Amino acid sequence: MRVHKELRRRYGRFFYRFPNGESAADVYDRITGFRGTLRGDIDVGRFFDPPHCARTRNMNIVLVSHGLTLRVFLMRWYKWTVRQFEGLRNLPNGGVIVMQTGQGGSYSLLVHHTPDELRAFGLTDEMLQDQMWYKTTANPGDLNHSFLTDGQSFFDDPCFVTPPPSSVPFVTPPPPPPPPY
């Protein structure tokens, strides 16, 4: 296990896949579909009480998850980069993180949590500024373009940059094994 954890440290927690397991990138693919369905269900009012059917801000949804899935869900929801994901920490067992609507109606972690709590979870100052924008300014569906343009691009980490073709040695793959008789 120590060898695999060292490989994960070198390769990156987002992309490393333990043997017979899945990487955070695999989870990201699954979360993308779930997030789209959840967002659509929220937008059409599927979670509101049918007898009343009035859209209200008093709606609660509880998601129970393992740490990796929770971190990837938040990464996908808030459009965090791989580098930002790599800085996140698991919550303690039974830990809770709350996304609550801010003044404009968008979900923010800063409505319920303090900046110090979110820093302990691994949010950077840049991520906290974005959460403040969600809390004070953003309407549902808004995208903080200054966060995206001032932030790091999704795959900007030098660890994930492919070297120039001239420095990549070409290795001929071995021939396939002969067919069994």
Tokens 């071995």 belong to which residue? 174
User: What is residue 161's DSSP assignment?
Assistant: P
Write out pLDDT tens, residues 20-79. 889 999 999 999 999 999 988 887 878 776 665 555 556 778 889 999 999 999 999 999
Is the pLDDT score of 161 beyond 50? Answer: no
Please report, for the chain, the start and end positions of each structural domain, with discontinuous segments joined by +.
Answer: 2-167
* Ordered DSSP codes for 17-65: --TTS--HHHHHHHHHHHHHHHHHHHHHTTTS-TTT----S--------
Write out pLDDT tens, residues 69-97. 999 999 999 999 999 999 999 999 889 99
CA distance 60 to 125: 28
Query: What is the reported pTM?
Result: 0.76
